[in-house]
Amino acid sequence: MHVVQCALMKPLEGIKVIDLTHMLAGPYAGMVIADLGAEVVKVEPLGTGEMTRGLLAEDPNNSYKGFGAYFLTLNRNKKSLSLDLKHPDGLKVFYDLVKKADVVLNNFSAGVVTKLKIDFDHLSQVNPKVITCSITGFGETGNHSTRPAYDQIVQAYSGGMSITGPDASTPTRAGIPIGDLGSGLFSVIGILSALLSREKTGKGQHLDLSLLDVQISLLSYMATMQTLSGVDPEPIGNAHFVHVPYNSFATKDGFVVIAVITDAFWEELLKIVDIDSLRKEEFKNSSGRLKNQNFIETELNKKLSTQTSQYWINALNSAKVPCAPINSFSQAFSDEQVVHRNMLVEVEHPDGGKVKMPGNPIKLSYTNDNSYSPPPHLGQHTKETLVGWCNYSKSELEDLIKKKVIAT
């Protein structure tokens, strides 16, 4: 049997990234790239740093040693360099960094990078191989390019909220910020694509990534259904528009989800729940079950409420009927499969102690180092980066500190 030896390395080692982002979409993209081994350096304003540093930082329930949950999670495996980009000497320092960088990532409002002279047109003159990525709400082109946007704005604007929730009278945003997180992931895909393209062409390029574009893309097949039928879909809660039963159900002590997408699953479900009223011939196929959705789900609710969630999960799993408990976060985090997959990891704080947070879902077979460095203090790596990347001398650093161009 051939055994693959594991290497203590990460796939993006050697890639240098300048991270100018704040809040969620951009920092999440930088986090994913950093988790994969790229050297990601946050370039932050002097004094306060990027705005996420202050978010929840004084909340006793959602912070640790002055770092809020946002910053703790999104900035592991990163370094911090404190720089005044608006100072002429600060711009020169930034250009020196760009000469050594592979990627420059930002999520400034449209037009800001051009005003600061750190857009692709300027940076590609400094380094023709550099890849830049700008994450904005509505994109860098079009009549709405200058509009501000956050996750819920694009969830609403895209139509996503119109299909989420219990009914059409209660449009609901997704429980997690899928516009922001999806944009972060699509940014990573775009950046990796540009890096691969550069291997073939030798040229860098710019990635214009819009939260709205991503949210429209995530509508997926439901968007195509609308274009084919001309009918706007409406929310149906946890149910499915084709499969029955495919919904959440109350049990004696909680809730479970059952997903019957084949007739074979239906037959196995009947053996478990043993409900005579559901043993009708017309229910043996999906179209018949769909026509009688309310009746079927009502009968199932009556039966499922008589036993605990774990009772039904054990029984359904034994018959391989797709199911799951509706877990709380704490229940999910303690689940044996989640623990086995190392999806809750401990990350050190730079001042000592550890914080638990979601791990990296990308499980590679060879370059599989799964280590995490602490999120940085503001300017913690200013000197280290300027010396390591740009060979700045001690006197040059002292002069820049004196001019308040950089801080450590």
Residue 372 neighbours by CB distance under 10 Å: 17
Per-position DSSP letters for 344-401, written without gaps between them? EEEEE-TTS-EEEEE------SSB-----PPPPPTTTTHHHHHHHHH---HHHHHHHH
Nearest to 211 by CA among 25, 70, 29, 50: 25
Pairing of strands 323-325, 255-259: antiparallel
The DSSP output letter for 163 is G
Distance in angstroms (rounded) separating the CA atoms of residues 209 and 206:
10
- List all residues 6 or more positions away from 392 whose beta carbon is below 8 Å from its beta carbon: 96, 386, 400
Cβ atoms 62, 347 nearer than 8 A: no
Distance in angstroms (rounded) separating the CA atoms of residues 239 and 246:
6
CA end-to-end span of the chain, whole Å? 53
Nearest to 40 by CA among 78, 89, 82, 1: 78
| 3-class SS of residue 330 | helix
Give catalytic status of residue 180 as yes or no.
yes
Q: State the Cα angle at 400 between 97 and 380, rounded to 5°.
A: 65
Question: Of residues 19, 84, 180, 213, which has the active-site annotation?
Answer: 180
Cβ atoms 203, 179 nearer than 8 A: no
Which positions are catalytic? 180
